[in-house]
Structure 1
Amino acid sequence: MARRSRRAGKGSITSYTTKAGTRWRYQLWVPIDPENPDEGERQTGKGGYRTMADADDGLDAAKKQLREHVKFVRSVPTVEVYAERWLSGLALAASTVAGYRRVIRNHITPQLGDLALNKVTATRLARHYRELSAGGRRDGKHTGEPLSANTVNKVHIVIGAMLEAAREDGLIAVNPARKRSIVKAPTGKQIRAEQAEMVTWTADELRRFLSWDRDVHEDELYPLWLTVAYTGMRRSEALALKWGDLDMKGGRISIRRALDTTAANTTKLTKGGGARVVDVDDAVLSVLKSYRAKRGQLSLELARPGAYIFGNAEGGTRSPNEVSRRWRTRVTKARAHLGADELHTITLHDLRHTHATLLLANGEHPKVVQERLGHRDITTTMGVYSHVTPTMQRGASDRFAGLLS
């Protein structure tokens, strides 16, 4: 069969003879560069079909691929190869990219890395998620245990974003991760059902711990725990504070940055993306003033406006993981001294939750709590601290009744 005119989208079917018999091939003219049509066309095709009808079906599929702007390449990259290419082009915070890379390394490449992008089907992704949910953990002694719904959902988000980029690059026609009738990622309800119940301290517990830490343990990090407890700031935000962020006269702390955990002595924007100011009382200001004086005795450089408040002895930033480890040690020792019944075990992040919970339970307006925590909207605040709502409702009821008594 003679080839038709040389124009993109036009194709032909021809037969040829082999030792095994007659075979058929199709040929199709496609743009050299779909994004630059003026560069002309080139011919692509595929042979080995046993019948003319099969070759015609192949030609129809190739034309469909052309209409959907899928590139005609000799070899489609594998998931592993494309994942690295995709990661290197992301214009996101270094910590975010590092998180994506960790997900790909642990939960995508080992199982799907050898597959060509166009061989990743919705059915394969659905099976992958099931396998992860059944035994996808890869962290030391927990390897082989079920992966949490939250982590599986993160895997789905990364795969979806990566395959969407591949679709936009013209390497695949459709994004199989978007086929929701087949690929069923964990729902928000499933994720919330697996989340551990939030543990916070009562005002008495917080008071007992801080008193023990200051007077008995004589902890050099007491000012750090006090600052987090009285402001609700995140660990990374507290460790990125500089003396210039502290307004002694105004009684305020400006939270402008957070530690970048991917590299030492580097910072990034806060999780909310912007700066915020929180008020602190005179007691906290007094502790920080004394702490600054002690830092200045070690070196004047450690007390200058540009120095980190809770930095190390060399003036650099402390390791967030090391700080959390020290917190756990303090809580364990405090429980041994005060009695396990007098103090629950909480994480350093739970100290932030304690700040918010105590404020809300004491009748503080949620909008104020939202601003102190740095949540982008009040919906997030009320969602995280929904367990406090019954107490708030009772308080509102009592206050309203008091107006009419």
Structure 2
Amino acid sequence: MTSSKPRRSPGEGGVYEYRLRNGEKRYYWKATIQVGNERKPVVRRGFTSRPEAAKDMRAAMKQSDDGLFADPGKVTVGEWLDAWLAGLRLSPTRDTYEQMIRVTLKPHVGDVKLAKLTTARVNALYRKLEERGSARGGPLAVRSVRLAAAVLSMALKAAVEAEPPLISRNPAARATPPRLRDELASTVLAWSSEQLDSFLTWAAEHDQEHVALWYVAATTGMRRGELLALDWRDVKGDVISVYRNARPGPGGKPVIGPTKTRKSRTVDLDDETVAVLRAWRVRRGGLHLGLVRESAPVFGDENGQRLTPKSASTAFDRAVARCRAALGEEAFQRISLHGLRHTMVSIWLTAGVPVKVVAERTGHTVATMLSTYAHVIPGSQATAANQVAALRRHSAGAGDEPTVEGTALRLARGKMPGQGA
């Protein structure tokens, strides 16, 4: 006796119910359809209703009939990120996305099959980045994790909307990247003014190859890329013109472009920083006159090549490690080169410089300043330039201990460590 229930023809497929561990219902479809040059079974899961699953199955089968169905089971996250990026217009934003994909996303989830990327896996990625996502193996800044999350979510959304779709839903849509307000609580951002004094004084004696870079980074609050993009023509008297940024390019070589905000600004210098830069230029000129021509980088190697962002950060990490070994690990905690920027912002705000002035000086927005730093006390940009030296003189105190002011004066007189009188 035969059943009266109609039988599906081969390849028609069907929709089926299953349950998650928490008991919630989900649906999947399964059908044998044409994928490229062969017919093969295809399964898609995660639908919240039977009609939704059936609609997706019909769309996939139509794509198969038209010869357009792509097997999502063979596409990796890394392959799709590359394909998505290739479709974006050339711009500084695209460059930022490319770096985030290459440095942060692909090393962690690039080999994962796109169809198998789940919300739980995405959340695990965010937690891993928070703990040890930086190039040096330490925590990745909350803002950087959030940028990675935004890039991943946009790319996955595009995979859902692709023709034909590669995935049925965006697994990053319900993931939980860290909140901005968690940043200060989760990451050590800065040294105190006394700790900064100790490091710069030590560097003047033991890291003469980079002390000028550390000094200018600390006293101006400029970003790493802005410092490395400086040429001597950008330094005029007691003012630095900031209008370019050096970002990592192919092979790690610096690529020069506009600042992060695409806005230029000027930064006033205190007398000691002016003295440091003048002494640094004299020293560079002593190696080769070509190193101090107007178009030469301020912070370059002995061959006149601009320092790469990675090499600058690595040099700073090594200097901090050597300084802690010399002064004692309890002297101060490890921070990144970017931490010098946070250090000076904290010092300025504590010293009474208005938040708007600090924002203008550092290229931040006022909203970013207010969301990141708690202390806002009135002052002026002139105070910001001169308070650097004043704070250090105060923190050094009396006695025979070397001070950063003394270091700057030695540099101004051209008596760099190791050069003699």
Please tell me the TM-score bracket, short chain as reference: 0.5 to 0.7
Aligned-CA RMSD value = 4.3
Alignment of 1:19-98 (within 5 A): 23=9, 61=55, 65=59, 73-76=67-70, 78=72, 79-80=75-76, 81-90=79-88, 91-93=90-92, 94-98=95-99
Alignment of 1:223-238 (within 5 A): 223-238=212-227
Partner of 2:150: 157
Asked if the contact 1:95/1:261 (under 8 Å) is kept, the reply is no
Partner of 1:210: 200
Q: Structure 1: which 5+ runs fail to align? A: 1-19, 27-44, 49-56, 394-405
Distance in 2 between residues matched to 1:307 and 1:72, nearest whole Å: 59
Q: 1:335 to 1:83 in 2, by over 3 A?
A: closer
Specify which of 185, 188, 200 is matched with residue 191 of structure 2.
Answer: 200
Asked if the contact 2:123/2:176 (under 8 Å) is kept, the reply is no
Offset at residue 293 of structure 1 (A): 2.2
Q: Aligned letter for 1:76?
A: A
Offset at residue 347 of structure 1 (A): 2.8
Asked if the contact 2:232/2:297 (under 8 Å) is kept, the reply is yes
The answer on 1:321 being equivalent to 2:321 is no
The answer on 1:309 being equivalent to 2:310 is no
Paired-residue identity, %: 26
Asked if the contact 2:233/2:294 (under 8 Å) is kept, the reply is yes
Offset at residue 316 of structure 1 (A): 1.0
Asked if the contact 1:132/1:147 (under 8 Å) is kept, the reply is no
Offset at residue 97 of structure 1 (A): 0.3
Partner of 2:279: 290
Distance in 1 between residues matched to 2:91 and 2:342, nearest whole Å: 28
- Aligned to 2:300, what secondary structure does the other structure show? coil
CA displacement, residues 84-113 of structure 1 (integer Å, 9 cap, x when unaligned): 321223334435303213444233332224
Distance in 1 between residues matched to 2:289 and 2:141, nearest whole Å: 48
Distance in 1 between residues matched to 2:219 and 2:284, nearest whole Å: 21
Q: Aligned letter for 2:196?
A: L
Q: 1:371 to 1:64 in 2, by over 3 A?
A: farther
Distance in 1 between residues matched to 2:314 and 2:302, nearest whole Å: 18
Alignment of 1:3-402 (within 5 A): 23=9, 61=55, 65=59, 73-76=67-70, 78=72, 79-80=75-76, 81-90=79-88, 91-93=90-92, 94-113=95-114, 115=115, 125-132=118-125, 156-172=149-165, 176-177=169-170, 180=173, 183-188=174-179, 192=183, 195-202=186-193, 204-214=194-204, 216-217=205-206, 219-248=208-237, 251-263=238-250, 264-375=253-364, 377-386=365-374, 388=375, 392=377
Q: Aligned letter for 1:23?
A: S
Offset at residue 235 of structure 1 (A): 1.5
In the alignment of these two chains, the number of paired residues is 326
Higher mean C-alpha deviation, range 339-348 or range 237-246: 339-348
Structure of greater relative contact order (alpha carbons < 8 Å, 6+ residues apart)? 2
Distance in 2 between residues matched to 1:383 and 1:289, nearest whole Å: 36
Q: Structure 2: which 5+ runs fail to align? A: 1-5, 13-32, 41-50, 379-421
CA displacement, residues 211-259 of structure 1 (integer Å, 9 cap, x when unaligned): 3322x326132211111111001122111110011111xx210111121
Q: Aligned letter for 2:97?
A: T
Higher mean C-alpha deviation, range 187-196 or range 103-112: 187-196
Asked if the contact 1:148/1:194 (under 8 Å) is kept, the reply is no
Distance in 2 between residues matched to 1:227 and 1:175, nearest whole Å: 51
Distance in 1 between residues matched to 2:119 and 2:325, nearest whole Å: 48
Larger Rg: 1
